[in-house]
Structure 1
Amino acid sequence: MLDKNGIEIRTGQVVKVSGAFFQNDNGLYYVEHSPGDPTWSGHDYCLKKVCKDGRLSKSTRNICFWPIGAFTNDRVKNAKANAWNREHSEIEVVTISDMSWILGRFREKLEQTAKDVQRHTWDFGEDDTMVQKEKAIQSHYEGVIRFIEGKEF
């Protein structure tokens, strides 16, 4: 999927959501999962809210999905919000000065996946489907880290 400027949205990027029906949905997020990621079965983007300095927001409502969906206990309000979001909300890939926290988050995921690969290899052998799946996830996280570091375009 492309942002409002025609830039492809990828895992690890920082995006700015604006024009959403609910004010809390507007803000800066990093893309934690994208469609096609080996760790994600959704067809949407999973976004985690970040502060301007790149740290994860401590807000209780710090998760958003793109395209934005409204889920309240009022059917009419949901319909109104979803129609508004389809028409008015926008997403834009932005840069922030400090990506170290986000980079650290993906390095932690890579480290855990490497441990899983090692453990599953010991338990089941190199050719096991679980080992192959974990290696694909490991490769994915390596690619995200290279992308964030600017070594892959």
Structure 2
Amino acid sequence: MNKFILIAAVFLLTGCPGPMDPVPQEYPAQARLVDNKVCITVPARAGDKIFSVQFGTESGREIYKTFGQPDQQLPVVQGQCLPTFDFQFKPGERYAAYYKLTNPHTGPGKLFAARFSLEKSENGHLQLKQYSRSEY
């Protein structure tokens, strides 16, 4: 009986995830090069705005920005590149980019993710390769 109480207490104190703590669903964002610069797009809906953005590399460089106030949130337009906030994308690294969008008309926000690497070709042009979540 004591073992059961101890195990139950450990689970209660550690806050193990359960059905009330769902992992947020991730939607794919598209990364490509436009004029030799990284361009990330998402299938935006009318009224979508950026709530937060995070970029990271395998080497540990990252940036995270949150726009909690509605007047700070930047609008998202279908087919237009999302802002990268002067993050320096360099060849030879793998990247993960996350955009959390909010929309007062459609309910809870959505999390979009793009995973990609940049390489420099022999002629000096950048090449972008996208990865799936399982490949990253």
TM-score, scaled to structure 1: 0.24
Which one has a bigger Cα radius of gyration?
2
Whose helix proportion is higher, 1 or 2? 1
TM-score, scaled to structure 2: 0.26
Whose strand proportion is higher, 1 or 2? 2
